[in-house]
Chain A
Amino acid sequence: MSSFSADTPHSSSTMGRIFIYGILLIVAGYFLLPLIVMLFTSVKSMEEIRTGSLISFPTSITFEAWSKAWSSACTGVECSGLSGYFWNSVWLVTPTVTISTFLGALNGYVLTKWNFKGANVFFSMLLIGCFIPFQVILLPMARTLGFLGLAGTTTGLIMVHIIYGLSFTTLFFRNFYVSIPNELVKAAKIDGAGFFMIFWKIMLPLSIPIIVVSVIWQFTQIWNDFLFGVVFSAGEAQPITVALNNLVNTSTGVKEYNVDMAAAIIAALPTLFVYVVAGKYFVRGLTAGAVKG
């Protein structure tokens, strides 16, 4: 990119820069607008929301709506805010992401380095799993959970998410491990390492970029999931997305936009946090297979 400005005269290149950055700022502002509106609204009082305009700066900042959304807003008949559901989601996401990522790594390792008869057919079938919409598996999954006695439990929901996520994590790891030379595994076998030793000591330490990809992907998917949450969990065990929905839809007279906005931001913060922390690894990991360093 820098090369095309190198041979143009200085003044016109400066103009070009200003133009490019101007456009970028406008586009960035456009994309940020909804978030800004949410943020502004969440720190305004109800009084100000009624009288002011949607995108005006808050005149006085108050965190009342935030604390209400967190601890005392009504989600249906219960009026204890989102805090409980937030931790529900945390307890749901942590084991699910860990287990599905680990199993995906194991699958990818077996599919690429311990080739067995029918491995390709197996992989193709797993791939189809990536294209099955949530709605299709609702009914069969409900029957299965009922049969296993896990209906309406967090364990059941965890299981559903692990199974659904496996296709994706396997795909990630399989494609990553294909680019790791087989000779590495052969060398380890000759050194005397067995199946799991090679996995722990050689493959996993090399997999950091793709583990990050898998964790971000799974975290986002499961944290943001509404459908499985609303179908397969009940009452106290519901994840934050379901609670948010209930909170927004529960009206006791006045609609408290500031509380709704604060609640929505609270629900979205963890995914934002994960992207900010691990985002650069995400891009690096997605391209890791393509360009070998």
Chain B
Amino acid sequence: MGALTIKNVCKSYGPVDILKGIDIDIQAGEFLILVGPSGCGKSTLLNMIAGLDGITSGEIQIDGRVVNNLPPKDRDIAMVFQSYALYPNMNIRRNISFGLEIRKVPKSEQDRIVNEVASMLQIDNLLDRKPSQLSGGQRQRVAMGRALARKPALYLFDEPLSNLDAKLRVDMRTEIKMLHERLKTTIVYVTHDQIEAMTLADKIAVMKGGIVQQFGSPRQLYDDPSNMFVAGFMGSPSMNFVPCKVVDMGNEAGVEIDGGAGTFRLPIKSNQLKSSVGQEVMLGIRPEKVTHKIESHLEDPNFHLAKCRVSIKEPTGPDTHIFVHMNGAKVVCRSNPDSAKEPGEEMEMMFDLSKMVFFDPKTEERLV
């Protein structure tokens, strides 16, 4: 079980800076997810933790030990690759035991570990086959088994589920979660899928352009995004952004919005932005915080009703997504299917004022 500390790590290839000062710190037993769009440097960072790639400056510690100059085999890590990277010429048993063999673990001990891992992952009956005879999901399990066999301080997962079909991906996601609950291992997991990040992680680092945009628990990132990128990246459908002007509403500041059925004003709670009256801001609100009228919330001062005009309606089954234009920006609202109105009609939408966040439209940073 190992903690991982990454201090001001930079990486550049010639003049190109790939990583620009990464700081991440997790406790032993935590599940860290590195998430971000393609080319954000998350896989590079993982390779550097593994020791497959050197760092330009900074420090990486595994279990309190600086590993900057250690080769991968001395870092006490195991890795699961996107393509699984099973050795095609060896059967499953040898694939799992190869690392033990190299480390000169006695044969009887190897057999015991292989059998233990195989039964944990339910691949006992596959041990004598070659990787080419397995399905994608089975290969995935073997790749995990190979990592588990060595019981390292740190497990690294490089987009392990992205080669699986949608259904299997959800199943394996749950299994990885269960495995983590059971073994309490420290895991660093790279993905570009924000749902995987939300469901699996104890801590998430959202990366873009070689910089950690925000590091925190899934809840923190979802409710308290530090900039528009994080806000838009986490959650599906993603957060709505409405450009609007701050207005004075007597006791508090508010924002003015035209929802296609007349303008209305939403008060901003907890005395935020009172000094910014007259300025342009970007309102961020999640689809599930703009809903149909919910009777039980009518008395709550945190909820506000306003009329908007429906442009499109998308039924998804449990909810219906209502598309509304507010100040020209497209806004998705999550409504109960029974309350959803038809396109062109006016509909009363209920805003959860306590969950509104505001960004500077120029810097895209969060406003206090």
Contact = CB atoms under 8 A, between A and B. Distances in A.
Interface of A: 181, 183-184, 186-193, 197, 201-202, 205-206, 293
A152 B360 CA distance: 83
A11 to B, nearest CB: 45
Interface string B36-71: 000000000001001010000000000000000001
Contacts of B103: 192
Of the listed residues A188, A191, A293, the one surrounded by the most CB atoms of chain B closer than 10 A to its CB is A191
B52 A189 contact: yes
Nearest to A193: B102
B137 interface: no
A206 B88 contact: yes
B161 to A, nearest CB: 15
Interface of B: 47, 50, 52, 71-73, 77-79, 81-83, 85-89, 98-99, 102-103, 132, 146
Contact of A183 (B72, B77, B82): B82
A192 B99 contact: yes
Those 7 A-B pairs whose CB atoms lie nearest each other, nearest first: A191-B99, A192-B73, A205-B89, A183-B85, A187-B85, A192-B102, A183-B81
B151 to A, nearest CB: 14
A190 B87 contact: no
Given A191-B99, A192-B103, A202 B87 contact: yes
Contacts of B71: 189
Given A183-B81, A197-B102, A189 B72 contact: yes
8 contacts: A181-B85, A184-B88, A189-B73, A190-B50, A190-B72, A191-B99, A206-B89, A293-B132
Contacts of A190: 50, 52, 72-73, 77-79, 99
Given A192-B73, A205-B89, A186 B99 contact: no
Contacts of B146: 187, 191
A198 to B, nearest CB: 10
A88 B146 CA distance: 50
Contacts of A187: 79, 81, 85-87, 146
Nearest to B132: A293
Contacts, number: 58
Most chain B CB neighbours (cut-off 10 Å) among A190, A193, A205: A190
Contacts of B102: 191-193, 197
Nearest to A207: B89
B73 A186 contact: no
Given A184-B87, A202-B87, A206-B89, A191 B82 contact: no
Contacts of B52: 186, 189-190
Contacts of B85: 181, 183-184, 186-187
A183 B99 contact: no
Nearest to B82: A183
Nearest to B156: A190
Nearest to B158: A183
A40 to B, nearest CB: 48
Contact of A202 (B72, B77, B89): B89
In the complex, which of the residues A183, A192, A197, A205 has the most CB atoms of chain B within 10 Å of its own CB atom? A192
Contact of A181 (B72, B83, B132): B83
B89 to A, nearest CB: 4
Contacts of A188: 87, 98
A137 B146 CA distance: 51
Contacts of B89: 202, 205-206
Contacts of A197: 102
Contacts of B47: 186
A228 B99 CA distance: 47
Contacts of A186: 47, 50, 52, 72, 79, 81, 85
Contacts of A193: 73, 98, 102
Contacts of A201: 87, 98
A189 B81 CA distance: 13
B188 to A, nearest CB: 13
A190 B47 CA distance: 11
Given A187-B81, A190-B77, A206-B89, 15 more contacts: A183-B81, A183-B82, A183-B85, A184-B87, A184-B88, A186-B79, A188-B98, A189-B71, A191-B99, A191-B102, A191-B146, A192-B73, A201-B98, A202-B87, A205-B89
